[in-house]
Amino acid sequence: MRLEPPIIILNFKSHKETTGHQAENLALIAEKVSRDTGITVAIAAQATDIFRLSRRVKIPILAQHVDAEDPGNYTGHITAYAVKEAGGVGSLLNHSEKRLLLMDIAKAIAALRTEDLVSVLCTDTPFTSIAGAALRPDFLAVEAPELIGTGISVAKAKPEIITRTIELVNELSLDIPILCGAGITDMNDVSRAFDLGVDGVLLTSAFVKSNDKYGLLFSMCRAAIEHYKR
């Protein structure tokens, strides 16, 4: 299963509300929205929930992190092979809450590629985005860490992070889809992000905290359809 833009990735992080059976309930909502709109809605789940979610829904399930090591004597590590066996289709890498060294990012991308899994590399500036792009991940996701969870959209507060990243990647003729995240709260934030040229968005808080999760996500997907530029 591949990720086709436009994309919305719901990062479940490690909240109680996004764990276990509650994660299943949220995944079912996401699956219904994806089916009703035709938009790719993926979930970045905790490692312990990948198997149960991949058996419960047919939308893409990503890991939130994989380690650089191959299968072997590495207690406590999450390997790309284990993610694949659990039913995951790929992984986020280097999220601002789970930073990696550049050499470990390169190894993790290679490990995911070996297993035919998708790599979504998170970065925080246009320049780290270019450094990351050189490693040829499948997707780049640029986020402003200081805006994560604030409800202040990166597309509104720091649009230059997005536009400059896209410019630099295009200048190098690297055909890597660009996603953005941090503070994505509603359909207007999604519209603004896609107007800037992204291929997808990542979000957490707005969806998890919403009293109308289906309605919120549906409106975001509709905005993605209307404003996606490719």
Instruction: Tell me the pLDDT of the chain averaged across its residues.
Output: 93
Among 18-27, 172-181, 213-222, which stretch is predicted with the lowest mean pLDDT? 172-181
Residue 25 lies in domain? 7-216
Residue type, 139: F
pTM of the model: 0.95
**208 belongs to a structural domain:** yes
**172 belongs to a structural domain:** yes
In this predicted model, what pLDDT tens digit does every residue of 101-128 receive, in sequence order? Answer: 999 999 999 999 999 999 999 999 999 9
| Total tally of structural domains belonging to the chain | 1
pLDDT at 227: 94
CATH number of the domain at 176, please. 3.20.20.70
In this predicted model, what pLDDT tens digit does every residue of 165-183 receive, in sequence order? Answer: 999 998 887 889 999 988 8
Residue type, 23: A
| Cα–Cα dist 12/29, whole Å | 13
**223 belongs to a structural domain:** no
Residue 59's alpha-carbon distances to 26, 68, 186, in angstroms, are: 12, 26, 21
Tell me the three state secondary structure of residue 41: strand
**122 belongs to a structural domain:** yes
**224 belongs to a structural domain:** no
DSSP string, 165-191: HHHHHHHTT----EEEESS--SHHHHH
Q: Which letter, b or e, does each residue of 123-140 get, where b requires 16 or more Cβ atoms within 10 Å of its Cβ? A: bbebebbbebbebebbbb
**229 belongs to a structural domain:** no
| Cα–Cα dist 10/30, whole Å | 9
**206 belongs to a structural domain:** yes
Q: How confident is the model at residue 158 (pLDDT cuts 50, 70, 90)?
A: confident
In this predicted model, what pLDDT tens digit does every residue of 137-150 receive, in sequence order? Answer: 999 999 886 766 66
Residues forming the active site:
95, 143
**134 belongs to a structural domain:** yes
Residue 196 clears pLDDT 90, i.e. is over it: yes
DSSP annotation of 70 reads P
